[in-house]
Structure 1
Amino acid sequence: MRTALTRLVGVRYPIVQTGMGWVAGPRLVSAVASAGGLGILASATMSLPELRSAVREVRSRTGAPFGVNLRADAGDAASRARLLIDEGVRVASFALAPSPSLIATLKDAGVVVIPSVGAVRHAVKVAGWGADAVIVQGGEGGGHTGDVATTLLLPSVVDAVDIPVVAAGGFFDGRGLVAALAYGAAGVAMGTRFLLTAESTVPAAVKEAYLAHGLDGTVVTTRVDGLPHRVLRTELVASLESSRLRGLASAVRNAARFRRRTGLTWPALLRDGHALRRGRSLSWAQVLMAANTPMLLRAGLVEGRTDTGVLAAGQVVGAIDDLPTCAELVDRIMKEADDIVAHLPRESNVPEG
């Protein structure tokens, strides 16, 4: 299936695996790439040496194109972009809008730049700055999210920009892919669906916890890091919602743990916090809570501690009931999509008159 996305990044199928922190490592990314989709490596929780090693591991596992997700507001964003250029990574994706200069640096080196956006104005802005494509996530999506449904946000963005648009938020099968293409998208991006695959390194017990939730099994909370965050409904989330003091105390401890793990200095953490706060109505208490996120997610997604960890999830979790390999999943989605397209009505059912 050829679309503007497959032509742009050189993959076989218009399916993207998003850069989920602690989840999108070399094993998952290379499996998606080998299956014909675009796998995106999550780098925000990695040091520079760890990122270089992860990129090289992906390349040792597959010769297919893949991408790396970067934090545009990180203090070392330029160094990470240079690493991608030096290592010949095909795609750079961003959770926040990269600066025009960073976009230009990457594009001049032949790297495809694909920011993720949650509003029409953000899509217009990055398109004007030279982004090659955008991933548009509706409110159904997991992790940091907005409040506009994909079915409304997607066509609005498609109408507003002249670059390829990839749809995210609520996709898990061939029906969703065909629907996104009908709206004008060039493909779909999926996080939760790829988290729940055989190659995902998330502990088996945590995967089972995901599968046990229904369509109402997620909640959008600001108590994890001060920003709207869609996560699974758990006792920990309920506790954070009810106790501000517990959330702030946890944030202080986890900020220190994250600093030690990544080697960041306190001044570097503060600089990143200042960048996060800029342009948003966040208090410094909320900025401090933002340091909470990596370690809370790690506790659940890596250590399997569902009692003390946070589990980001899209609403689509309630529509998923299996753990296929990435190859099986991509093949199934494409077969479903082809079958749907082949059986679309060719004539109008409206009587002539």
Structure 2
Amino acid sequence: MRTPLTDLVGCRHPIVQTGMGYVSGAGLVAATSAAGGFGILASATMSLDEVGAAIREVRRRTEAPFGVNLRADAPDARERVDLLVREGVRLASFALAPDRELIRRCADGGVLTMPSVGARRHAEKVAGWGVDAVLVQGGEGGGHTGPVPTTLLLPQVVDAVGIPVVAAGGFFDGRGLVAALAYGAAGIAMGTRFLLTSDSPVGDEVKRLYLAAPVTGTVVTTRVDGVPHRVLRTPFVDALEHSGRAAGLARALRHAVAFRRLAGLSWPALLRAGRTARHGRELSWAQTVMAAGTPVLLRTAMVEGRPEYGVMSAGQVAGLIEDLPSCAELIDRIMREAEERLARLTAVR
């Protein structure tokens, strides 16, 4: 299936695996790209050296193209872009819109750019700055997103920009791919669906919690990192939601201290990262401290397998997923379902 996305990035199928901290490592990315999709490595929870090692590990496992997700507000964002240029990575995706200088730096080095957006005006802005594609994430998606559902946000953005648009939020099968294409998207992006594969590094106990979740089993909370974040509803998350302001700040400080130790950061470096995170965003210092500690909450659940003490990012689509196929099995299934659905639509016509 050839679309503007497959032509742009060089993958066989218009299916993107999104960058998820502690989930989208070299193994999952390589498995996705080798199966014909487009895997994106999550680098925000890695040091610069670890990102380089992960890129080389993906290359060792597959010759297929892949991308790397970057934080535009990271203190070493420019050094990370330079690494992608040196390594010949196909695409840099961004959870927060990169500035013009970062986009230009990528373009000069031959690296494509694809920021995530949650509003039409954001898509128009970055398109005007020269990005190569945009990933549109509706309110159903996990992570940080706006309240507008994909079915309303996607057509707005498709009509507003003249670059490939990748749809995210609520996709898990071939029917969704066909629907996204019908809206004018060039492909779909999935996070939770790829998290729930046999190639995902997440532990089986945690995966079982995802599989058991109903469609109403997620909640959008600001108590994790200070901005809206969709996570699985658990007793721990319920406790966060009902905790007082003072208790929340004390908890955030503990997590920030733990993250400083985990990342090997000095206090000045942590404060610089905090100032960078606040730049251009209306975050209080309390929210900044919460954001600094979020990696610890994610790591506790996703890596250490202790969901009772951490959080699990999740799209609402978790309530519709029932199995753990390999990436190859999943992508083959989606493409087969898409072809069958297109054939039925053609027969109706």
Normalization by structure 1: what TM-score? 0.97
SS in 2 for 1:291: helix
Aligned partner of 1:290 in structure 2 is 291
Aligned partner of 2:118 in structure 1 is 118
Equivalences for 1:79-90 in 2 at 5 Å?
Answer: 79-90=79-90
1:324 partner amino acid:
P
Aligned partner of 2:280 in structure 1 is 279
Number of aligned residues: 348
Structure 2 alignment gaps of length 5 or more: none
Question: What is the CA deviation profile of residues 123-156 of structure 1, one whole-angstrom value per residue up to 9, with x for unaligned ones?
Answer: 1111111100000000000011110000000000
Distance across 1 between alignment mates of 2:138 and 2:319? 17
SS in 2 for 1:303: coil
Matched, 1:75 2:75: yes
Aligned partner of 1:195 in structure 2 is 195
Most deviating of 261-270 and 148-157: 261-270
Q: Give the superposed CA RMSD.
A: 1.1
Aligned partner of 1:330 in structure 2 is 331
Question: What is the CA deviation profile of residues 20-71 of structure 1, one whole-angstrom value per residue up to 9, with x for unaligned ones?
Answer: 0000000100000000000000000101111111111110000000000000
Mapped contact 2:167–2:189 kept (Cα < 8 A) = yes
Equivalences for 1:1-353 in 2 at 5 Å?
Answer: 1-243=1-243, 244-346=245-347
Distance across 1 between alignment mates of 2:317 and 2:268? 39
Mapped contact 1:28–1:199 kept (Cα < 8 A) = yes
1:238 partner amino acid:
D
| Deviation for aligned residue 1:264 | 2.4
Distance across 2 between alignment mates of 1:49 and 1:69? 15
Q: Percent identity?
A: 69
| Deviation for aligned residue 1:280 | 2.7
Structure 1 alignment gaps of length 5 or more: 349-353
| Deviation for aligned residue 1:259 | 1.6
Normalization by structure 2: what TM-score? 0.98
1:136 partner amino acid:
V
Distance across 2 between alignment mates of 1:84 and 1:137? 24
Mapped contact 1:240–1:246 kept (Cα < 8 A) = no
Distance across 1 between alignment mates of 2:276 and 2:121? 20
Distance across 2 between alignment mates of 1:345 and 1:131? 34
Mapped contact 2:258–2:293 kept (Cα < 8 A) = no
| Deviation for aligned residue 1:283 | 1.3
2:208 partner amino acid:
E
2:248 partner amino acid:
G
SS in 1 for 2:345: coil
Distance across 1 between alignment mates of 2:246 and 2:35? 46
Distance across 1 between alignment mates of 2:318 and 2:180? 19
Mapped contact 1:40–1:69 kept (Cα < 8 A) = yes
Distance across 2 between alignment mates of 1:281 and 1:102? 22
